[in-house]
Amino acid sequence: MLHNLVDLVFDGQCGFCTRAAYAIKRLDRKARIRLHPAQRPGVHERFSLTEADTQEAAWAFTHDRSAAGAESINLVLDVTFGTRLFTQFYRLPGIRNLQDLAYTWVAQHRYLLRGTTPWCQSHPGDCHLGTQTAHCSL
């Protein structure tokens, strides 16, 4: 069954992560993606995540599934385009490892990547600004 909605939890203090979240939202012509910066009050509790979880990876949640890291991006793309192709491709032998390695590299080098004004700077009332993240989560 294809999922109708997905909640994407991302690092709202990361400019690259914010830029990627905005790009996904622009592709989302059917309003299926709901963005949640990890620093928003109540996000950790709502999705049963720890701060460490959201420091390490982006998370995607549907009504019956959760995914982190590269898998979460594939799930978001599936919902955005109404397909299963991205997660099926991710599950091919060797592809998961390659995507996970690429995701980890991007997360660790996020400051070298072009971003935009981080969500928490452009939406200051939407974030607990005392929360610092160690890794970009998208």
* Domain contains 55: yes
* Domain contains 125: no
* Domain contains 1: no
**Would you say the pTM of this structure is higher than 0.75?**
yes
pLDDT tens digits for 47-91?
999 999 998 999 999 999 999 999 999 999 999 999 999 999 999
11 φ, ψ (degrees, to nearest 5): -80, 105
* Domain contains 35: yes
* Domain contains 138: no
* Domain contains 128: no
* Domain contains 131: no
Domains of the chain: total: 1
Q: What is the largest CA-CA distance in the chain?
A: 44
pLDDT tens digits for 21-41?
999 999 999 999 999 999 999
Q: Which domain holds residue 105?
A: 6-120
In whole angstroms, give the CA distance from residue 72 to residue 2: 15
pLDDT tens digits for 88-105?
999 999 999 999 999 999
In whole angstroms, give the CA distance from residue 64 to residue 11: 23
In terms of pLDDT, which residue wins out, 88 or 136?
88
9 φ, ψ (degrees, to nearest 5): -100, 125
* Domain contains 132: no
